[in-house]
């Protein structure tokens, strides 16, 4: 029964809850049991809070029972996430709980309040199982930069799940939880979704409040959902979206109701594509892209055309400047945001005597990992006297040009753009750790969307060498409803594809308690 429950999508679980076939406590207990039994070889979780999760499940069951007493209308008015388990990336504040952001420097910190996202999930009645692993301060594309050890990919335990939200992506893909929350600064939701064979979405900048989220780059960070299908991811986005007065970048834009009203029927969903104008940016087929990835993406484009879409090759001419622009803007903002970690107010602290400066340097030197130090130094340099105009200001001007490229396509009447999510499938542990630039190139197809503040979603589109490939769809600002319809349409058009029935290859290995942890596998590989 545990396996049956954990293999169901969130909307299937919600239907059974409302029908009275099962309770949220049963659903929550089943997912907790699976996560505890199979996380040893995965390391997707940093904490699991059984007591709090089961209490939230009981509260959801009580809300459902009260609504039944009021009639069918009251039950229908409940949010579809009521009683559904969810994973939070460990930079989301939960009152009284940890929020390490994957860093040693925040060990011991306990959040004094709930993030806006947490509040919205509680309002919906969702059940928070715990916190997932991540690259330190969301700086990474593989979840190898976590201070608490790497996370593995359930498709191949010798490979990374992507990052920085790799813990949430792996937990959803391994059936520990049907839904997860991640953050996306340059592709940190979409890229791990692609590598783990699930759905991940980055909303328009300002759609979801960042209040209570440990910051990396404030003008780029955005919270978004993971799910195993588009309907689930869209419902989670609906739950956490909306204006928040505590976040000045949170936009007063209505949340589209069609996020929880996507077609259930595959043929009806696919019919959305008829007559739609879809752009295929040539610049996203980057040098070095794996041939199998390109083949799967072009096959997906052919599916869109067969379903009635009009696909046209387009150009986003400033795309080639995206990587350089991002790695000036993001580190500059990170250097400012991370200045607060001084060992005085909270978190890890080194105290060696009366020399405050020595203690400060020791705290940051030992508390931050190598990748965080690299980016803080890069950002501080870009903001320093004599270099601010040459680097940071020029990067911001280039950012405007990148956004204008997209705007011209929306003005020309395109409904959506389609592109690869990642230029490669999941890569082996250690393959890119010695070459930061090669690691940064993992986000080459996703980071322009963050630079322009647009919404993007990654959906599975087949396998290459037995590993998942992601198809990225990009929309105009505030078009999440239409973008989810486009993604659901592709999902419907490929519902009978053989690759959709293939499960992650290493699920059985996760059930074996003798399977090594990811850290042990990395250590063994390094020794070899």
Pairwise CA distance, residues 186 & 433, whole Å: 18
Q: How far apart are CA 294 and CA 469, in angstroms?
A: 9
Of these residues, 24, 89, 209, 276, which one is catalytic? 89
27 touches 84 (CB < 8 A): yes
- DSSP classification of residue 282: G
Catalytic residue list contains 496: no
Q: Which of 261, 206, 226, 229 shows the shortest CA–CA distance to 88?
A: 226
Q: Judge whether 99 and 91 are in contact, CB under 8 Å.
A: yes
Please give the DSSP secondary-structure letter assigned to residue 503: P
* CA 52 to chain CA mean position, Å: 24
Which ranges of 412-517 does DSSP label H, i.e. alpha helix?
Answer: 436-440, 447-452, 480-493, 507-510
For residue 471, which phi and psi values (nearest 5 degrees)?
Answer: -105, 125
**Crossing angle between the packed helical segments 322-337 and 370-383, to the nearest 10 degrees:** 100
DSSP 435: -
Residue 309: how many CB atoms within 10 A of its CB? 24
DSSP string for 83-109? T-EEEEETTB--TTSB--TT-GGGTT-
Task: List strands edge to edge, sheet with 85-89.
Answer: 45-48, 127-132, 85-89, 179-183, 223-227, 199-202, 456-464, 467-474, 416-420, 277-281, 310-314
| Structural tokens at position 415 | 């409904």
Known active-site residue 89: yes
Out of 24, 103, 146, 188, the active site residue is: 188
Is residue 188 annotated as part of the catalytic site, yes or no? yes
Which of 494, 489, 491 lies closest to 275, judged by CA?
Answer: 489
Report the catalytic residues. Answer: 89, 164, 188
């Amino acid at each position: 029964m545990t396996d049956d429950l954990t293999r169901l999508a969130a909307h299937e679980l919600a239907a059974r809850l409302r029908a009275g076939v099962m309770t949220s406590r049963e659903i929550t207990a089943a997912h907790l049991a699976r996560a505890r039994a199979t996380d040893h070889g995965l390391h997707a979780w940093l904490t699991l809070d059984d007591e709090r999760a089961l209490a939230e499940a009981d509260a959801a069951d009580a809300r459902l029972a009260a609504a039944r007493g009021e009639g069918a209308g009251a039950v229908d008015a409940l949010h579809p996430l009521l009683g559904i388990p969810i994973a939070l990336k460990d930079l989301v504040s939960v009152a009284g709980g940890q929020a390490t952001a994957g860093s040693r420097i925040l060990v011991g910190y306990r959040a004094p309040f709930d993030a806006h996202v947490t509040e919205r999930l509680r309002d919906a009645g969702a059940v928070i199982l715990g916190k997932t692993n991540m690259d330190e301060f969301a700086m990474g594309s593989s979840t190898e930069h976590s201070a608490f050890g790497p996370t593995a990919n359930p498709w191949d335990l010798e490979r990374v799940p992507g990052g920085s939200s790799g813990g949430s992506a792996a937990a959803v893909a391994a059936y520990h939880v049907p839904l997860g929350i991640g953050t996306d600064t340059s592709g940190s939701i979409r890229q791990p979704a692609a590598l783990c064979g699930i759905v991940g979405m980055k909303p328009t900048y300002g759609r979801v409040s960042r209040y209570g989220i440990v910051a990396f780059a404030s003008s780029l960070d955005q919270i978004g959902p993971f799910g195993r299908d588009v309907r689930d991811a869209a419902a989670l986005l609906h739950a956490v979206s909306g204006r928040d007065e505590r976040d000045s970048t949170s936009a007063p834009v209505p949340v589209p109701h069609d996020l929880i009203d996507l077609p259930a029927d595959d043929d009806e969903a696919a019919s959305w594509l008829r007559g739609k104008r879809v752009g295929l940016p040539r610049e996203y087929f980057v040098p070095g892209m794996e041939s199998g990835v390109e083949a799967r993406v072009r096959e997906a484009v052919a599916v869109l055309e067969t379903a009635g879409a009009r696909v046209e090759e387009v150009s986003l001419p400033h795309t080639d400047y995206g990587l350089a622009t991002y790695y000036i803007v993001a580190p500059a903002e990170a250097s400012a945001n991370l200045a607060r970690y001084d060992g005085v107010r909270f978190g890890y602290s080194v105290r060696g005597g009366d020399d405050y400066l020595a203690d400060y340097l020791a705290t940051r030197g030992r508390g931050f990992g190598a990748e965080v130090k690299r980016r803080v130094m890069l950002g501080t340099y870009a903001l320093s006297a004599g270099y601010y105009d040459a680097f940071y200001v020029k990067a911001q001007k280039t950012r405007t040009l990148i956004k204008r490229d997209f705007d011209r396509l929306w003005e020309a009447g395109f409904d959506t753009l389609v592109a690869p999510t990642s230029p490669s499938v999941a890569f082996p542990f250690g393959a890119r750790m010695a070459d930061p630039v090669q690691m940064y190139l993992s986000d080459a197809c996703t980071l322009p969307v963050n630079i322009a503040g647009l919404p993007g979603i990654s959906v599975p589109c087949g396998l290459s060498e037995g590993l998942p490939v992601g198809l990225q769809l990009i929309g105009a600002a505030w078009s999440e409803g239409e973008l989810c319809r486009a993604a659901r349409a592709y999902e419907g058009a490929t519902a009978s594809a053989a690759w959709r029935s293939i499960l992650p290859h290493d699920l059985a290995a996760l059930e074996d308690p003798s399977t090594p942890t990811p850290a042990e596998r990395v250590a063994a590989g390094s020794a070899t």
